[in-house]
Amino acid sequence: MAGIGVWWPQHRVAFVALGGCITVADVILGDGWNTFALMLPWGVLFGLHYILARSLAMDDERAERHTADLRLRAYDQAHIDDIGGRHDLIIDAHHHLWDLDRNYHPWLCDEPPVEGRHGDYRAIRQSYLTDDFRRDWDGLRVVGSVYVEAKWDPADPVGETAWAESVAAETGFPTVIVAQAWLGRKDVEEVLAAQADFARVRGVREYPAVAAHPHEVVPYAPGSMSDPQWQRGYALLEARGLSFDLRVPFWHLPEARALAERFPGIVIILDHTGSPSLRTPEGLAAWRKCMRTLAEAPNTAVKISGLGEPHLPRWSVRTHRDVVLETIDIFGVDRCMFASNYPVDRLYAPYGTIMRGFREMTSRFSLGERRRMFCENAMRWYRIGPESLMEPPPPASSFLER
C-alpha cells in the first residue's frame, strides 16, 4: 500500500489541474452557477481521495516519525512503548543446544579438550538447553530460532535431529532445524531422506574440505565443493526441498559461487558473515571481494553472526561495525539475517550485548529494514510460518526504536 503514498503528489496535481480546466471552461461559457455545480462534487471527490490515499500510505518511515511524535506528546508512555514494541521481535537465525550428559559431541566431550577456531572451548563444555538459552536473552523478545547442527557424532547425523525435534516438541524451541549430513558419503541419499522427514528440518550443514590459507586452495580437492563426488550428494538437496548452510573461510566463496550457479535451485545460506578472520586492510579487501563474488548469485543469503575471534579485541560495536555494514551493503537488506551463534559466542560477549550491538550498528536503516533483518528474512529463507512463532514476552526494552 505504500505505493499509493508515492503516487499521491501526482494525483493531487491531476485533480487540481482538471479542476482548473473545468473552471476556465465554465468562465469562457459565462455561466457562474454551472461552475459551482461542477466544482462541488469534484471537491468532495478530491477530499475522499485524499483521505483514502493518506490512510493507505502508512509506510515504515512515516510510521517511525508518527511514533516519535506520539512519544513526545503522549501522557501514557507505557502504551506508546507497546506500540514500538511490536517491531522488536527477533528470530535468532543461528544457535545451538547440547546435552553433554546424554549425547556425544566430539569437540566438546573428548579428552584432552579440543582446540579449534575459537581456541579453548572449556568455558562452554557444559550442557546448554532451552532454559539456558531463554535466560541468556536478557529481556529481548525472541519469538523463533534456527537450530544448526552442533558437530554431533558424525556416525549418527539423524540422531541429533531426532533429539532436537524432541526438545522443540517439549519446549517450543527451536522453531526449525538445519540438520547434519555428509554429502560425500555413500549413505547421503538415505540420510537426506531421513532428515527431510522431520517436520522442522529446513536444510543441512556440513563442512566441505577447505584450505588453511588462501594460497593453498586446490581445485577439485576430495571433499571440497568442487569435488564431483561431493557435488553428487549436494545435487540431492533440491529434490528434498533442502537449503544448504555453508561455513567455510572466505577464500572458498568463489568456489561456492560456482556451486550456486551450477545448482540454481538450491539455496546457499552463508554462515558467520563469511568468516572475516583476517582484519588487516589486505585481509578485509580479500574478504570483501569474495563476498561480492558470492552475492552475485541470487540463490544466496548470509547470516551476520559468529564475529568473535580469539585474536580480535573484545566484542564491541566498534570492533565489528564496518564488517556488518559492508555485509549488508554487499548482499542487500533482504538477504541478511542476524544471529547469535550462541552458546559458542558466549566466549566473547553476553547475548544481549551481541544482539543490541547489531541493533546499534544498523541504526541508519529504517524500521522496516531492521524488522526484515532481525525477523522476517529468517521466516522467508527458512520457511517459517507465523503460526510457528512463540508468543512474545512483554517488551523490556525498545529494541528497534531509535
The full 3-state SS of the chain, as one line of letters, equals CHHHHHHHHHHHHHHHHHHHHHHHHHHHHCCHHHHHHHHHHHHHHHHHHHHHHHHHCCCHHHHHHHHHHHHHHCCCHHHHHHHHHCCCCEEEEEECCECCCCCCCHHHHCCCCCEECCEECHHHCCCECHHHHHHHCCCCCEEEEEEECCCCCCCCHHHHHHHHHHHHHHHCCCCEEEEECCCCCCCHHHHHHHHHCCCCEEEEEECCCCCCCHHHCCCCCCCCCCCHHHHHHHHHHHHHCCEEEECCCHHHHHHHHHHHHHCCCCCEEECHHHCCCCCCHHHHHHHHHHHHHHHCCCCEEEEECCCCCCCCCCCCHHHHHHHHHHHHHHHCHHHEEECCCECHHHHCCCHHHHHHHHHHHCCCCCHHHHHHHHHHHHHHHCCCCHHHCCCCCCCCCCCCCC
- Preceding amide of 112 cis, omega within 30: yes
Q: How confident is the model at residue 71 (pLDDT cuts 50, 70, 90)?
A: very low
Among the ranges given (26-35, 209-218, 307-316), the one the predictor scored with the smallest mean pLDDT: 26-35
| Choice between 329 and 83, residue whose per-residue pLDDT is larger | 329
Q: What is the mean pLDDT of residues 342-349?
A: 96
Residue 70, number of CB atoms within 10 A of its CB: 15
Q: What is the mean pLDDT of residues 196-213?
A: 96
Among the ranges given (17-21, 65-69, 351-355), the one the predictor scored with the smallest mean pLDDT: 65-69
Positive or negative, the CA dihedral 89, 180, 262, 227 is positive
Positive or negative, the CA dihedral 331, 337, 340, 344 is negative
pLDDT score at 246? 98
| pLDDT cut 70: percent of the chain above it | 76
- φ, ψ (nearest 5 deg) of residue 125: -85, 60
| Choice between 319 and 26, residue whose per-residue pLDDT is larger | 319
| pLDDT cut 90: percent of the chain above it | 69
pLDDT of 6 above 50: no
- Is residue 8 a contact partner of residue 46, using CB atoms and an 8 Å limit? no
What is the rounded CA–CA span in Å between residue 178 and residue 245?
8
Q: How confident is the model at residue 391 (pLDDT cuts 50, 70, 90)?
A: confident
Cα torsion through 29, 31, 37, 42, rounded to 10: 30
pLDDT digit string (tens) for 303-326? 999 999 888 889 999 999 999 999
- Is residue 221 a contact partner of residue 209, using CB atoms and an 8 Å limit? yes
Among the ranges given (9-23, 275-289, 293-307), the one the predictor scored with the smallest mean pLDDT: 9-23
Distance of CA 364 to the CA centre of its chain: 17
pLDDT score at 226? 96
Q: How confident is the model at residue 95 (pLDDT cuts 50, 70, 90)?
A: very high
- Is residue 248 a contact partner of residue 211, using CB atoms and an 8 Å limit? no
Q: What is the mean pLDDT of residues 79-92?
A: 64
Q: What is the mean pLDDT of residues 146-164?
A: 97
Q: What is the mean pLDDT of residues 152-157?
A: 97
Rg of the chain over CA atoms, in angstroms?
26
Q: What is the mean pLDDT of residues 263-279?
A: 96
